Structure 1
């Protein structure tokens, strides 16, 4: 397989309105080396996050990894649109070398299409210093969209239609947001920009998923409540595309949103 050696191991593709609201007017990228992804995705390889011995647990685990990958791509694309190719590179590289390695055999087992080539093209575009999302990047994005949708449809249909299952999925994604947000912080400041953007992308994916579920008309009240929590968190923790100079909120504050959404899931009719 044409996959480059991993040197350092540290979560609908249209950009959502919620993610676009994260972007502030362009300003210079922080003048620092871009640190490696130390946190969230390392758990994929090293720490079993749940018992996958049942079909439902296996579906939840699989869908989380797809969500992590899509969250990376969402924020990577947004960074390219903002002219931040250097900051975008990890969000196309990490999916290939961390998440896709885990997903590849599971995509095959679920008879979902493979999409490594599209990820490689996107990473190459960012590594080449290109900005914007036209040209080869745009072609790869267009090719990837139906494949990524098919990867999500590989989950059992009854679970994709279950508000309880999908709300729990969004709650887990917000837990991952909190984990990577925490990894971005040292001594009360955001110093790991990659981890900050990881968590931003995961939140954008969660908000996108909530919007899709609301549009489907299932458990409208509960999904509206979850969407409000996600938007509240976006405004609180991600006021701009680039990290603020001061820590916007605590890790416990972010994680509490995961708990609140899980509480909604627990009370909804399955």
Structure 2
């Protein structure tokens, strides 16, 4: 399905080289009649844009959008591995119509290869009701990984190795986690399952990023602390792949984790 033939309508937002395929735990089925993505997809013009008036701000904005895209793909893959093709579909559609439209001209400016075709193959796989992540999906995933890595390497390399810049990036991603988590809630319950999974995917991406940075950074203590905050949030707000019947945490509790990581970033080496 060509994204240029579709109008986008609201939902969540969303970089790294190797995407991990971790099979999701067994989860109970959704209650009958649970709304799926009541708002639809967000128009590209409505996607919030961060200040990009300086090279550093432009890199932060670009990296955030890559992270949002990758977060969608991570949770979409987990849903496919769990046999939840219907729930996975939006997490391959949103990247094409919300995020890739924004990213495509910026990838070209940074001379990074595009990857629209891979996203389309993944979406078609989920839309076809396929589960698991082999076949054409697996081929597209393998093709996408180095392209995402190249897209990320288009950022100033000094920023990619800066603990302060990358910790701030993770803090921004956790702020996005809180925003979409809040969008999933109505009258004290998680109603919009797609928004809940949006936020979950952004957290998985943040955890993946922290793990990668912890391996090679000279700020190991800072990244270890950040990883602990992220794991605490994971256990608190996302106990299973499907949402619990009771609200696991308040939005302010989730957002406080972003503040904690931003505080770590503020004291980290630039």
Q: TM-score range by the shorter chain?
A: over 0.9
Q: Is residue 2:57 matched to residue 1:52?
A: no
Q: Distance in 2 between matches of 1:263 and 1:257?
A: 10
- Report the TM-score, using the length of structure 2 for normalisation: 0.93
CA contact (8 A) 2:73 2:201 kept: yes
Alpha-carbon spacing, 1:167–1:130, altered in 2? closer, same or farther (3 Å)? same
Report what 1:236 is aligned to: 236
Offset, 1:51: 1.7
Q: Distance in 1 between matches of 2:38 and 2:144?
A: 25
Root-mean-square deviation over aligned CA pairs: 1.8
Alignment of 1:157-168 (within 5 A): 157-168=157-168
Offset, 1:196: 0.2
Q: For 2:36, which of 34, 37, 41 is the aligned residue?
A: 34
Offset, 1:15: 2.4
CA contact (8 A) 1:9 1:98 kept: no
Q: Distance in 1 between matches of 2:183 and 2:161?
A: 33
Report what 2:189 is aligned to: 189
Structure 2: gaps (5+ residues): none
Structure 1: gaps (5+ residues): none
Report what 1:133 is aligned to: 133
CA contact (8 A) 1:29 1:84 kept: no
Q: Distance in 2 between matches of 1:206 and 1:132?
A: 24
Tell me the SS of whatever aligns to 2:246.
Answer: coil
Offset, 1:42: 4.1
Q: Distance in 1 between matches of 2:28 and 2:183?
A: 24
Alignment of 1:1-270 (within 5 A): 2-3=2-3, 4-10=5-11, 11=14, 12-15=17-20, 23-31=24-32, 32-36=34-38, 42=42, 45-46=45-46, 48-270=48-270
Q: Distance in 2 between matches of 1:210 and 1:192?
A: 28
Alpha-carbon spacing, 1:25–1:199, altered in 2? closer, same or farther (3 Å)? same
Q: Distance in 2 between matches of 1:148 and 1:240?
A: 27
Per-residue Cα deviation, 1:86-134 (whole angstroms, up to 9, x for no partner): 0000000000001000000000000001000000000000000000001
Alpha-carbon spacing, 1:47–1:119, altered in 2? closer, same or farther (3 Å)? closer
Q: Distance in 2 between matches of 1:47 and 1:121?
A: 24
**Count of residues in correspondence between the two structures:** 264
Offset, 1:27: 2.4
Tell me the SS of whatever aligns to 1:58.
Answer: helix
Alpha-carbon spacing, 1:79–1:35, altered in 2? closer, same or farther (3 Å)? same
